[in-house]
Amino acid sequence: MVKLDKLKDQSTKIKEGRTIGIRNLRYLFMSNIKQYTMLMALILIVIVFQYTTNGVLLRPINVSNLIQQNSYILIMAIGMLLVILTGNIDLSVGSVAGFVGAVSAVMIVQWKWGTVETIVISLVIGALIGAWQGFWIAYVRIPAFIVTLAGQLIFRGLTMVILKGMTLAPFTPGYTMMAAGFLPDFFGNDGLHLTTMVFGVITVLLMVVSDLNKRRQLRKHNFEMISMPLFIIKEVAIGVSIIWISYILAQYKGLPIVLILLGFLVVLFTFITQKTTIGRHIYAFGGNEKAAKLSGIKTSRVFFWVYVNMSVLAALAGIVFAGRLNAATPKAGGNFELDAIAACYIGGASASGGIGTVVGAIIGGLIMGILNNGMSIMSVSIDWQQAIKGFVLLAAVAFDVYSKRKTA
């Protein structure tokens, strides 16, 4: 008889639970190469543009603009990440955003509806569009590329039908609030926007508490983790950045409301993807659909809801975009889908599915956004901006492929 105990000895010999200190930085870097490099690329881009724009980039008003300008792409990128996790794509989101913006303009401008019901109905329309596309994709199993390409044409066309080729404006202040508004200052201070600062500090505290908690978990299970000094460096670095950004924003009009919305979505979707069974099902679906199905995961249902979710977020982005523009135009949302997709890939998502994070997609989206903004300030022409963004996307994915081959 084979002695199973003997075999067991071998497996326990493999050691676990080491901590990674500053000395092992190289290892740490190599094992998380994509996430760290993209974060560092982001920081590098900020530094470079800060220099080349003579400090305009990080001026309070520009930072505020930057956030509002990119918010709708980032909102879409979150939904797109889930789609890409399933190994698919959604080409219709730009048109859907434009369509929903147009519909809400009709409701507000022509029908004089209130803000809340307009937004709710708009999101419901988004969900219905998602259900329509999700039905064809998940249950009829027509390739998502084709269904959403059709969706792109359909909803672009319908946008023009609704607007009759014209621009509808203006919206009510309530409606534009979400996109262009700022958190009021409860302290009534004239100089620095104190509420924003308080908000920043609370965010940092919450982050530290949750990270400490996570660390305790890792220790409990004897998992690999970074050493205490490194942990402190990391927390301080992120904490200081958040407070610094709060400070910049506090010097202008304070915290943009859309940033709160975005922060909420990031936290919510990070939670959904990382901590819930639904998230697990999405990753499993993208990693190996057959295996997921044979494990009793209702794959078609997962697939369907991912597209419903995508269209709801596209609708939300459409509302934000229309609010920021304070108008609904027939061309609104053009090419948004490409920016959202690019954000996910730059942020480390895999085109074949199963790999990617919400935070990664946000970092990817910020890289694109700051490139846009920085180049605009430097008055690089729009055609060059496009080309450069193209190169960045290709370089990011090429780097991903390369580093994967290295570690394989």
Which positions lie near another protein, rule CB under 8 A? 1-2, 4, 7-8, 10-11, 14, 16, 31, 217, 220-221, 223-224, 275-278, 280-281, 283-284, 287-288, 290-298, 354-355, 407
Q: Helix 93-105 vs helix 144-163: angle between axes, to the nearest 10 degrees?
A: 30
Distances (CA, A) of 39 to 267, 343, 392: 18, 13, 14
* φ, ψ dihedrals at 250, nearest 5°: -65, -20
Three-state SS for 190? coil
**N-terminal to C-terminal alpha carbon distance within the chain:** 37
Minimum CB distance to another protein smaller for 164 or for 405: 405
Minimum CB distance to another protein smaller for 188 or for 296: 296
CB of 290 to another protein, least distance (A): 4
CB of 223 to another protein, least distance (A): 7
| List of residues 6+ apart from 317 with CB closer than 8 A | 72, 73, 75, 76, 93, 97, 333, 336
Residue 57's Cβ-side half-sphere holds a number of Cα atoms within 13 Å equal to 22
Minimum CB distance to another protein smaller for 158 or for 351: 351
CB of 379 to another protein, least distance (A): 44
CB of 86 to another protein, least distance (A): 13
Minimum CB distance to another protein smaller for 4 or for 140: 4
CB of 281 to another protein, least distance (A): 7
Minimum CB distance to another protein smaller for 330 or for 347: 347
Minimum CB distance to another protein smaller for 17 or for 21: 17
| List of residues 6+ apart from 143 with CB closer than 8 A | 137
Distances (CA, A) of 142 to 88, 137, 168, 391: 12, 5, 35, 31
Instruction: Return the CA Rg of the chain.
Output: 23
Answer for the pair 346, 38: CB distance below 8 angstroms, yes or no. yes
Minimum CB distance to another protein smaller for 191 or for 296: 296
Rounded Cα distance between 41 and 76, Å, is: 22
Minimum CB distance to another protein smaller for 36 or for 186: 36
| List of residues 6+ apart from 122 with CB closer than 8 A | 100, 103, 104, 107, 315, 318, 319
CB of 243 to another protein, least distance (A): 30
CB of 309 to another protein, least distance (A): 15
CB of 209 to another protein, least distance (A): 17
